[in-house]
Chain A
Amino acid sequence: MDKNALASHRREYEEFQRLFGVSRAEREVRMVELAHNDPQLAIDVLGLLTDADAERAIESNEVESANEDCVGQLIGGRFRLLRPLGAGGMGDVYLADRVDDVHQQVVVKIVGAGMSLSRAHRERQILAKLSHPHIASLVDTGRMPSGQPWFAMDYVEGERITDWCDRNALGLAARVRVLAQVARAVQFAHKNLILHRDLIPSNILVDTAGTPRLFDFGIAKFLDATDAQEAQTLAMTPAYASPEQLRGETATTSSEAFIPFSQPAEAISTSNPRLMSVAVQMDETRTPHSTKGNRHSLIGLCAGKARVCYRDSAAELLDWRRPSLPNE
Chain B
Amino acid sequence: MFHIAGSMMRRMLIDRTRRAGSEKHGGDQQRVDFIEAMQLPISGSADVELLDTALDRLEQIDPRLSRVVELRYFVGLSVPAVAAVLEVDKRTVYRDWTFAKTWLRREMEQ
Contacts and interface: CB of A to CB of B under 8 A. Distances in A.
Interface in B6-44: 8-9, 12-13, 16, 19-20, 25-26, 30, 33-34, 36-38, 41
B91 A13 contact: no
Nearest to A219: B37
Given A13-B61, A272-B81, A55 B98 contact: yes
Contact-residue bracket for chain B? 35 or more
A29 interface: no
B99 A238 contact: no
Interface string A1-23: 10000100110110011001100
Nearest to B13: A238
Interface string B58-72: 001110010000000
A13 B20 contact: no
Given A13-B65, A246-B13, A276-B5, A229 B26 contact: yes
A48 interface: yes
A275 B82 CA distance: 13
A178 B30 CA distance: 35
| Chain A contact residues, majority secondary structure | helix
Contacts of B1: 276, 279
Given A6-B60, A13-B65, A248-B16, A229 B25 contact: yes
Given A272-B75, A279-B8, A48 B99 contact: yes
B74 A17 contact: no
Contacts of A279: 1, 4-5, 8
B63 to A, nearest CB: 12
A282 B65 contact: no
A165 B16 CA distance: 34
A41 interface: no
B9 A238 contact: yes
A248 B37 contact: no
Nearest to B81: A270
A282 B33 contact: no
B48 to A, nearest CB: 12
Given A237-B37, A275-B75, A246 B81 contact: no
A275 B99 contact: no
A52 B12 contact: no
A115 to B, nearest CB: 12
A271 B38 contact: no
Interface string A204-245: 000000000000000000000000010011111111100000
A248 B19 contact: yes
B60 A234 contact: no
Interface in B64-92: 65, 73-78, 80-81, 84-85, 91
A278 interface: yes
Contact of B85 (A229, A232, A271, A282): A271
Given A21-B91, A52-B99, A279-B1, 11 more contacts: A21-B95, A47-B106, A48-B102, A51-B106, A55-B102, A234-B20, A234-B30, A238-B13, A270-B81, A271-B85, A275-B75
Interface of A: 1, 6, 9-10, 12-13, 16-17, 20-21, 47-48, 51-52, 55-56, 89, 229, 232-240, 246-248, 270-272, 275-276, 278-279, 282
15 contacts: A9-B61, A16-B95, A17-B99, A48-B106, A51-B105, A55-B98, A55-B101, A56-B98, A89-B36, A238-B76, A239-B75, A239-B77, A240-B76, A272-B75, A279-B4
